[in-house]
Amino acid sequence: MRDLDNKDLRGRSLLRFASPQVFYPVAGLLAPWFAGIAAVLTVIGLYIGFFVAPTDFQQGEVYRVIFIHVPAAWMSMLVYLVMAFWSAVGLVMNTRLSFMMARALAPTGAIFCFIALWTGALWGKPTWGTYWVWDARLTSQLLLLFLYLGYMALTEAIEDARRADRAGAIIALVGAINVPIIYFSVQWWNTLHQGASVSITKAPTMATTMLMGMLIMAIAAWAYTIAVAFWRVRPIILERERHTDWVGAELERLGSR
C-alpha cells in the first residue's frame, strides 16, 4: 500500500509540470543548459566529420555533407512525431501546455526539414548529376516540409486559440503517417536514394569515426531542439496566460529589469 501511495505522489508531482505556470520557469532554467550542450557537441561533431573522419573511397570528400544532412533528416522526422504526440495528449487530456509545445516545436522541425532537403541537393549534384529528382524519399521529405508549413499557417490563421490548437493537432496526427513513408521509402520503392547507413537491426555500414561524428551531431541537434523549444514556448505561455495574475507579475518583473 505504501508503494502505491509513493507512486501516486510521484505521478502527481510530475503532472504538476503540465501547468504552464510551473513549466515556465523550468523551461527558462533548462534551455541554456541544452543550448550549451548543443554548441559543444556541434563543434566536436563537425570537427570529427570534417577533419578526423577518413575520406570515403566511393564518394570522396562530398560525402561529408552527411554529418549535417543525416542528423537534420532524422530530426525533421522525429520532431514531427513529437509534435503529433503532444497534439494527441492535448486532444485526449485537454492540456493547454501540450498544444503550446507542439507549436513551439514546429518551426524548428521545419528548419531541419529544409536543411535536409538543401544539403541533400548539394550531395545529389555530384552524386546523381542533378540537384533534384522526384525520388520517393525526396518527394515524401518535401511533403513533410509542406506539412510543417501548413501546420504553422493554419494555427496562425485561426484567431481562436482553442480552435487553432485542435485544427493543428489534426494536421499533425494525419501528417504523422508520412514519417514512416519517408523512412521506409527506400525499401518499398525503387529509389535512387541510398539505404540507411545506421540501423537498429543491422551493423553500421560506415567507419566507426564517421558513425561517431554523425551520432554526436544527432545528439547536438536534439539538444538544440529542446533548447529552442523551451525558449519559444515561454512567450507562447505568456501570451496564452496573459489574463492570469502570475503572468501579470512576471511581466512586471521583466519590465523592471
Q: Which three cell numbers stand for residue 230?
A: 523551451
Residue 78's closest CA among 225, 198, 230?
225
* Calpha distance 187→176 (Å, rounded): 19
**pLDDT of 233 over the 50 cut:** yes
Residue 60's closest CA among 127, 15, 124, 9?
127
When pLDDT is averaged across residues 29-53 and rounded to a whole number, the result is: 95
74 part of a folded domain: yes
229 part of a folded domain: yes
Q: b/e string for 222-235 if b means 16 or more Cβ within 10 A? A: bbbbbbbbbbbbbe
pLDDT band at 253 (very low <50, low <70, confident <90, very high): confident
Q: Which three cell numbers stand for residue 196?
A: 540507411
Q: Would you state the pLDDT for residue 60?
A: 67
Percent residues over pLDDT 90 in the chain: 54
182 part of a folded domain: yes
- Find all residues with CB under 8 Å of 238, minimum gap 6, and list them: 24, 247, 250, 251
Q: Which three cell numbers stand for residue 81?
A: 512525431
Our count of domains for the chain comes to 1
Query: What would you report as the CA-atom Rg of the chain, rounded to the nearest whole angstrom?
Result: 21
Longest CA span, the chain: 68
| Per-residue model confidence as pLDDT tens digits over 169-201 | 999 999 999 999 988 876 765 555 555 555 444
| Per-residue model confidence as pLDDT tens digits over 148-163 | 999 999 999 999 999 9
**pLDDT of 7 over the 50 cut:** no
Considering only residues 138 and 15, tell me which one the structure prediction assigns the higher pLDDT. Answer: 138
| Per-residue model confidence as pLDDT tens digits over 93-139 | 988 899 999 999 999 999 999 999 999 888 877 777 777 788 888 88
Q: Would you state the pLDDT for residue 16?
A: 66
81 part of a folded domain: yes
The domain in which residue 79 lies consists of: 33-55+62-233
> Are 101 and 54 contacting, i.e. CB atoms less than 8 angstroms apart?
no
9 part of a folded domain: no
249 part of a folded domain: no
